[in-house]
Structure 1
Amino acid sequence: MKRATLFGGAAALALWGGAAFAADIPAYEAAPAVAAPVPSFTWSGPYLGLQAGYGWFDADNRVNGFKPDSSPDGFTVGAYAGYNHQLENSPLVLGVEADINYTDGDARRGTRGFTGASDTRIGNDVGFTGAVRARVGYAFDRFLVYGAGGLAFADHEVKARATAPGGASGSDDTVAVGWTIGGGVEAALSDNVTARVEYRYSDFGTDSFSVAGSRVKSDLTENRVMLGVGYKFSSGW
């Protein structure tokens, strides 16, 4: 009987000690689940856009010792498409872009270079322009500052129109090919919609035209400012 009482007391003491020890252990709560980080904006992916602006053209013409230069300035509207790749964990953005545009640039300049005493107006007409360019940019999250350069082309026509009896008339055209360089700033208005403003300079080279029996050499250049709105597809498209 005494042994049972002693055993029961020891058991009770052990249980009381275990409870007291457990009470002394600090309670630890489970760490709250950490939400997955929201991915930052990326410029990677294909895109399409529309653009409009104004082009200041200079056409340096030379015919029979005369220089009837003209400036076929005009409004420009067009479309562009390209692909950007933003390097991983880097603000550097590399891309390629092509565009095609229509312009209403048309100008005339008077000269006596064709038939001596009779007046003839020499004109330059630019119908469409386009380019294929490489782009390099630096991203500030949803803002992109970029430079671009590459191949440029234009539908260039030279016209001669008589303004007096005996004057010469005629026209000739070619697709002038040259180079372009420029830059701009682009902003992501949403994950898919972007807007940009861009300046570019283009030199379409010097071409020879056969107009009304005379050889006309013409060098065409352009300064242009464009505004564009684009749609960027997801990078996994």
Structure 2
Amino acid sequence: MTRKILLGAVAAVALSATGAFAADLPAYEPAPAVSAPAVPSFTWSGPYIGVQAGYAFGDTNISRIEPEGFIVGGYAGYNVQLDNSPIVFGIETDFNYSDVDDKRAGVRFQGDWTGATRARVGYAFDRFLAYGAAGVAYADREVRVRGIGSDSKTAVGWTVGGGVEYAAADNVAVRAEYRYSDFGKDRLLGRSVDGDEHRVMGGVAYKFDLGF
């Protein structure tokens, strides 16, 4: 009996000592999870400059004269996209060489250059941008009549259109655009001449990163 009592006492002391030792050990805490750094989303904000080319066709009030041809040139602008907003505002200007002309019965209508300054507003789907634009258009307008002579004016009118852009890289955007322009009336060779123009253009631009 005495032996059992002694063994029980030794076991009790051992268990008590083990519990005390375990209580003194530091508690284990898992290491905090490492979160990946946030990747900034794409923004359309900033200045850009690009080149473009396309095809134009139109009408005049000169009998059967319907000028058409190729256009090639450049454009530059500035966009502003507010934080966490898909709305993009901008302003853009362009200037182009024009090979648009037509000739009928000794009368030739042509224009050597064209340009516009427009306000833009668009809706961004991340790297896709759908936009509309409107503003002032200007173009060279020349009429030649065989046996009489020629006359030219800088026509000023209005333009409206829209298009889509895609940011193929953070600093490169490609676009496709349709534009309608009405250049109003000018007096050429003693006659009131008016005309309009439809054009389809494609372009590629470099967007500058301002760093803020």
For normalisation by structure 2, the TM-score amounts to: 0.87
**Pairing 1:227–2:202 present:** yes
Query: Match for 1:123 among 104, 108, 121?
Result: 108
Q: Deviations over 1:190-230 (max 9, x none)?
A: 11111110000000101111x2xxx1111110000001011
- Contact 1:45–1:236 (CA under 8 A) maintained in structure 2: no
Q: Counterpart of 1:174?
A: 153
Root mean square deviation, CA, Å: 2.0
Aligned length: 199
Q: Which runs of 5+ in 2 are unaligned?
A: 1-13
Query: Match for 2:99 among 95, 100, 104?
Result: 104
Q: Counterpart of 1:47?
A: 48
How far apart, CA to CA, are the structure 2 residues paired with 1:185 and 1:35?
Answer: 33
- Contact 1:44–1:235 (CA under 8 A) maintained in structure 2: no
1:236, CA displacement in angstroms? 3.2
1:41, CA displacement in angstroms? 0.7
1:64-213 aligned within 5 A: 68-110=63-105, 121-162=106-147, 169-209=148-188, 211=189
How far apart, CA to CA, are the structure 2 residues paired with 1:18 and 1:187?
Answer: 68
Q: Counterpart of 1:236?
A: 211
**Pairing 1:217–2:189 present:** no
- Contact 1:138–1:144 (CA under 8 A) maintained in structure 2: yes
Identity %: 55
1:103, CA displacement in angstroms? 1.0
* Secondary structure in structure 1 of the residue aligned to 2:67: coil
How far apart, CA to CA, are the structure 2 residues paired with 1:14 and 1:234?
Answer: 69
Q: Which runs of 5+ in 1 are unaligned?
A: 1-11, 62-67, 111-120, 163-168
For normalisation by structure 1, the TM-score amounts to: 0.78
Q: Deviations over 1:6-26 (max 9, x none)?
A: xxxxxx999755433255x85
* Secondary structure in structure 2 of the residue aligned to 1:57: strand
* Secondary structure in structure 1 of the residue aligned to 2:178: strand
* Secondary structure in structure 2 of the residue aligned to 1:19: helix
